[in-house]
Amino acid sequence: MKKSLLIGIAAASVLALSACSAGSDSAAPAGGGDALTPVTVGVIPIADTAPLYLGFDQGFFEDEGLELTIETATGGAAIVPAIVNGDYQFGFSNLGSLMVAKDKGLPLELVSAAVASTGDVTSDMGAIVVSGDSPIETLADLNGKTVSTNSLNNLLDTVARSTIDSAGGDSSTVSFVEIPFPDSSAAVENGQVDAAFVVEPFVTSALENGNRVLSYGFAEFADKLDIAAYFSSAATVAGDAELVTKFQAAMKKSLEYAQANPDAVRAIIATYTETPAEVLAKIVLPTYPTEFNVDAVTALSEAALKYGVVENAPDMSTFLP
């Protein structure tokens, strides 16, 4: 049964990864009757989480007997403690952050795929951009330069370091600095940084401002790299297997629907962010897989270990659901 989504406009159109700084905004879609089991999911109001909103709108969660409440935040830093404390049953975060959390011993368990790169090295949802008149032509030209990402020692700089080294550069000579996505394009244009690793809609915005793409980093790192996942606490996974199974089933339907209906994805994003319609029409959407790309996630874990993001690479047999 299709339902209308009751949710306030997000405070900003931050189409970013979950490594952003903490902050919060909330929305609680109306649920079903008393027979439904309440479930709260903490997410970031970005394109990556569109399937969850579509799943609510299409009634997929209600079909599984779940009364869905969506709590939004500007970053995973606010979501993780809410999961650990049991305030939320499920949450959304990028895989870099989840690898770090597991490495630190936090009791978290991945339960569902969420979003991945397109795998297209000529058009993807994440890119390293430089100014239009920059002399930098290849990733190797970034030696000795400054590159911004939205969070340090996390997903983006791990991918950037790996792709730079693979291209014949030396990432140890690159200075990575933390700049929020909305400010990255200006930082490139005014020379504050030589390059910036950004995601949509900031890739599109950067191009419209005269910048150019140096590398579609995610796609060059691995084919259809998983960017993020839905996760829960170890206590919920162990103590309420039925709830987890229902959530996984609803998410699978939601991801499949989003992947098959890109126009619906763009339309639903407009209901929970302030992204202008003309930008939504141009951005490159991610893919919404129902299964993890184990080889790509393994490569990411190895890179995280190589570049000191984690002390121990996660065992894929236990890290992935």
Q: Are residues 105 and 144 in the same domain?
A: no
User: Is the pLDDT assigned to residue 5 strictly greater than 50?
Assistant: no
pLDDT digits 0-9 by tens, 51-76: 999 999 999 999 999 999 999 986 77
Say if residue 315 is exposed, middle or buried (CB neighbours under 10 Å; 0-12, 13-18, 19+). Answer: exposed
Model pLDDT, residue 34: 60
Percent of the chain with pLDDT over 90: 78
Q: Are residues 234 and 277 in the same domain?
A: yes
User: Is the pLDDT assigned to residue 27 strictly greater than 60?
Assistant: no
Q: What is the mean pLDDT of residues 301-316?
A: 96
The gap from C-alpha 46 to its chain's centroid, in whole angstroms, comes to: 8
Q: Are residues 251 and 169 in the same domain?
A: no
Helices (H) and strands (E) in the chain, counts: 14, 11
Q: What is the mean pLDDT of residues 214-236?
A: 97
The gap from C-alpha 53 to its chain's centroid, in whole angstroms, comes to: 15
CATH number of the domain to which 158 belongs: 3.40.190.10
* 83, two tokens: 């999961």
Can you tell me the distance from the alpha carbon of 174 to that of 221, in angstroms, rounded to the nearest whole number? Answer: 18
Q: What is the mean pLDDT of residues 120-124?
A: 96
- Domain presence at residue 212: yes
Higher pLDDT, 55 or 273: 55
Let me know: does 229 contact 106? Beta carbons within 8 Å: no
Residue 104's SS3 state is coil
pLDDT digits 0-9 by tens, 162-179: 999 999 999 999 999 999
Q: Which of 221, 255, 279 is at the close of a domain?
A: 221
Model pLDDT, residue 13: 35
- Domain presence at residue 13: no
Model pLDDT, residue 106: 95
Residue carrying the six token digits 């490139």 = 188
User: Is the pLDDT assigned to residue 264 strictly greater than 70?
Assistant: yes
Higher pLDDT, 320 or 4: 320
pLDDT digits 0-9 by tens, 133-163: 999 999 999 999 999 998 899 999 999 999 9
Q: What is the mean pLDDT of residues 33-41?
A: 86
For CA atoms 118, 204, 254, 154, the dihedral sign is: positive
Q: Are residues 72 and 60 in the same domain?
A: yes
Q: Provide the domain limits for residue 155.
A: 126-221
Q: Which of 176, 197, 221 is at the close of a domain?
A: 221
| Sheet arrangement for strand 226-233 | 24-26, 66-73, 37-43, 90-94, 226-233, 108-116
Q: Are residues 264 and 237 in the same domain?
A: yes
- Domain presence at residue 91: yes
Can you tell me the distance from the alpha carbon of 201 to that of 156, in angstroms, rounded to the nearest whole number? Answer: 16
Q: Are residues 247 and 278 in the same domain?
A: yes
- Domain presence at residue 18: no
- Look at 81-90, 159-168, 218-227, 272-281 and tell me which has the smallest mean pLDDT: 272-281
State how many domains the chain has. Answer: 2
Q: Are residues 215 and 232 in the same domain?
A: no
Model pLDDT, residue 46: 87
Model pLDDT, residue 2: 38
User: Is the pLDDT assigned to residue 22 strictly greater than 60?
Assistant: no
How far does the chain reach from its first CA to its final CA, in angstroms?
A: 29
User: Is the pLDDT assigned to residue 101 strictly greater than 90?
Assistant: yes
Let me know: does 293 contact 30? Beta carbons within 8 Å: no
Q: Are residues 108 and 195 in the same domain?
A: no
Q: Are residues 60 and 94 in the same domain?
A: yes
Can you tell me the distance from the alpha carbon of 69 to that of 78, in angstroms, rounded to the nearest whole number? Answer: 16
Exposure string of 153-176, with b = 16+ CB inside 10 Å and e = fewer, is: bbbbbbbbbbbbbeeebebeebeb
Q: What is the mean pLDDT of residues 225-252?
A: 97
Model pLDDT, residue 10: 31
Q: What is the mean pLDDT of residues 189-207?
A: 93
Q: Which of 221, 252, 283 is at the close of a domain?
A: 221
Model pLDDT, residue 274: 83
